[in-house]
Amino acid sequence: DTEVTQTPKHLVMGMTNKKSLKCEQHMGHRAMYWYKQKAKKPPELMFVYSYEKLSINESVPSRFSPECPNSSLLNLHLHALQPEDSALYLCASSHGDRGKAFFGQGTRLTVV
């Protein structure tokens, strides 16, 4: 199994809603990542988890809250988002730090 699975694929939420994005991998990877990608732009790193501990937070606003319940799962909790947060949110994992990253298909988020 060489897949990173993200759910949901699409999400529309209001600015007062609370929602969560989920990411799962069963490759035994110990590093997991959240990226944000706007149209026609490269993926932009948000968070890195290494061995289930948050190792990098790229100064992401607190309305985004990551969680790593176990080595296979990564969540991104969303609360009080702004329309400018609309983007494709990509999860990725790698065997170790600085390794080859496998990306999930992403969640396309629209904030209304």
Partner 1 sequence: QQPVQSPQAVILREGEDAVINCSSSKALYSVHWYRQKHGEAPVFLMILLKGGEQKGHEKISASFNEKKQQSSLYLTASQLSYSGTYFCGTYSEYGNKLVFGAGTILRVKS
Q: Which residues bind partner 1 (CB under 8 A)?
A: 33, 40-45, 48, 55-56, 58, 90, 97-98, 100-106
**Residue 62 or 98: which CB sits closer to partner 1?**
98
Centre a 10 Å sphere on the Cβ of residue 92 and count the other Cβ atoms it contains.
23
**Residue 6 or 111: which CB sits closer to partner 1?**
6
* Contact call for residues 96 and 28 (beta carbons, < 8 A): no
Q: Provide, rounded to whole angstroms, the least separation between the CB of residue 88 and partner 1.
A: 9
Q: What is the DSSP letter of 71?
A: T
Name 91's Cβ contacts closer than 8 Å, sequence gap at least 6. Answer: 4, 6, 21, 23, 32, 33, 34, 35, 74, 76, 103, 104, 106
Q: Provide, rounded to whole angstroms, the least separation between the CB of residue 50 and partner 1.
A: 8
**Residue 75 or 105: which CB sits closer to partner 1?**
105
Q: Provide, rounded to whole angstroms, the least separation between the CB of residue 80 and partner 1.
A: 27
Centre a 10 Å sphere on the Cβ of residue 102 and count the other Cβ atoms it contains.
16
Q: Provide, rounded to whole angstroms, the least separation between the CB of residue 46 and partner 1.
A: 11
